[in-house]
Amino acid sequence: MLDIDINSAVAIALSEDLNGLSADDGDITANLIPANQNITADIITREECVLAGVAWVTETFAQLDKAIRLQWFAKDGDRLHANQPIVRVTGNARRILTAERTALNFLQTLSATATIVAKCVKELEGTNTQLLDTRKTLPGMRLAQKYAVTCGGGTNHRIGLFDAYLIKENHILACGSIQAAVEKARQHHPHLPVEVEVENIQELLQAIAAKADIVMLDNFSLDMLKQAVTLNEGQCKLEVSGNITIAELKRLSGLGVDFISSGALTKHVQAVDLSLRVIEITTTKL
């Protein structure tokens, strides 16, 4: 599933730049460079980060020219320091420069997700609380960002609408009650996990009574969270969600909850500052 997604995502991204044309016809600036000119260039990071996106970069260059050679100095999940070389790229100058922005776009975005996740996971060290992502991903980047979360040490929540139940307020209203919604879920797909999002203690008790696998405590106050843990007595897994900040992670994990989920890990990403630097230019005979 991920391999197919990488191939497709890269093809779409390149097509955006080339207007659906070939590299020869679509990159008018690269055509200023002699066709027989080769370069060697390093992609470096200008800031500390956790790397994610190696496969997307590799696929980007491969789709334009399979003769381009990549020498990786780091792998996904590695912690990098400022000005550290990530990969050396050697091959046709036109093709490398056509691929440059697409490759960097994937790498800077996915590394940004991995980096913030790693910072959050560090705050949870020594606890049994897992950090989860959400479906609040950039359009077209769902699997890529979910993968980046794992590179940072986080855990994936459901991938989409197909692999787990998450029964929210509107689902509950449409079904009639939490109990009715959970019962229908068990009938339709008994092998899938059932999670219920609740907004108050009364709904929590209803979800526990319905035997939900996981209960998401949405925007609970600290006192409500403490009460929820006490009332639950380990009957369901508890997930905390809603405007989570790094500063709150230690305190929240100390309450004994099983999961903390945050959409900010994927939707509030600030791209890592990367750069491609040419270090050698050569010419081949025509």
Q: Which residues are catalytic?
A: 101, 136, 168, 197, 218
Q: Give the largest CA-CA distance in the chain.
A: 77
Backbone φ and ψ of 235, nearest 5°: -70, -35
Q: Name the residue among 59, 63, 67 with its Cα closest to residue 106.
A: 59
69, 70, 93, 102 from 59: Cα distances, Å: 12, 11, 17, 10
For residues 65 and 83, give the distance between their C-alpha atoms in angstroms, rounded to a whole number.
Answer: 27
* Cβ neighbours of 226 (radius 10 Å): 13
